[in-house]
Amino acid sequence: MHPHNIPQDINVELLLSYLQQGSFKVSFKGTHKRNAYNDIIDIEEKTDGALLVNVGRNSIYNALPEYLFHSIDRFSNLSHLDAKERFDEELEKQEKEKENAYRFFAPLDAQLLLFRVMAREKLNPITETDSILYHILGDELTEKQLNNRFIKQAIPFLPSCKYIRGNKTLLTLLLRKIFTNEGIKIQVHETRQEFRDDSPQYIDRLGDLIDETFVGNVYDESVTAFDVYYWPETIDSGFLELVDEIEVFRLFVQDYFMSVEEILRFDIRHDDPALRLSDDKIFNYLNYNTNI
């Protein structure tokens, strides 16, 4: 059956890995037929039900030395008058020779392509998960970080950190997915936070007043805050370990997925309604706000 909705930029080895052997044929059309963006030129369904995949790649025939297997130039030894009269006839012979050469090398081309498909299937568990790349990016992670249940889920996203960094939408999707997997709800909002610079700067100009030269060491900036809604029945060591895990995870996200102009904050909150003990007294659960 003819496959539908195939991405235009799909690689031919990837497509063939989804098809059963014997259900397709491959035709190499050469780079002169290749689209700038597409490896596969088109797919035809033959009368026998097999798929003919036309690929914009050269055959072995194109890679061999010229004049060894290539058709001869039938017009080089013809006079101008003879070439004009016999043009169509000689061109047909030349195209027939090229077609026969492609057909001769077709089984070898197809077998080499199948070897590449098999090699791709062997490498898929490594290359598709970018495991080599994220092990390189995370080679400085400590044992405590590697054992962190939240960081374990975030590590596969390390190869995409350059796209996530500074993109609050992608960052929110990443954090929401990880926390949801742990049964924890989060909510994002923007807040302001006051920062203090321990090394205030001065403008080095003699004769100016102090209030004109002192840049200041306290400033107010926007902070991305995530309310983490999780509150156990009892506050015990398990809950405190969770708080520590979330802090370790926050520092990891700050290092790999946040821009240098931003700071991430997790606030652990409880979203149950107030507890009414009597008509004149209402007690709220305290929020365990880490104030990170």
Q: Could you say which DSSP state residue 50 is in?
A: -
Alpha-carbon Rg for the chain, nearest whole angstrom, is 33
Q: What is the C-alpha to C-alpha distance for residues 12 and 26, in angstroms, rounded to an integer?
A: 9
Q: What is the C-alpha to C-alpha distance for residues 151 and 13, in angstroms, rounded to an integer?
A: 33
Where do the structural domains in the chain lie, given as residue ranges?
A: 12-127, 142-283
Nearest CA among 49, 69, 51, 52 for reference residue 60: 69
pTM of the model: 0.47
Give SS3 for 263. coil
Q: What is the C-alpha to C-alpha distance for residues 190 and 185, in angstroms, rounded to an integer?
A: 17
Q: What is the C-alpha to C-alpha distance for residues 292 and 290, in angstroms, rounded to an integer?
A: 5
Question: Does an H or E element contain 268, and which?
Answer: strand 264-269
Q: What is the C-alpha to C-alpha distance for residues 123 and 275, in angstroms, rounded to an integer?
A: 57
209 is written with which tokens? 């007043």
Phi then psi for residue 137, to 5 deg, are -65, -30
Q: Per-residue pLDDT tens, the chain, 292 aa: give them.
A: 566 677 777 888 888 888 887 788 888 888 777 666 788 888 888 888 788 888 888 888 888 877 666 666 666 666 666 666 777 777 788 788 888 888 888 889 988 998 988 888 877 766 666 667 777 877 888 999 989 999 999 988 888 888 888 788 888 889 999 998 888 888 888 777 777 777 666 555 555 555 555 556 777 777 778 888 876 666 677 788 888 999 999 999 988 888 776 778 888 876 655 554 455 544 444 454 444 4
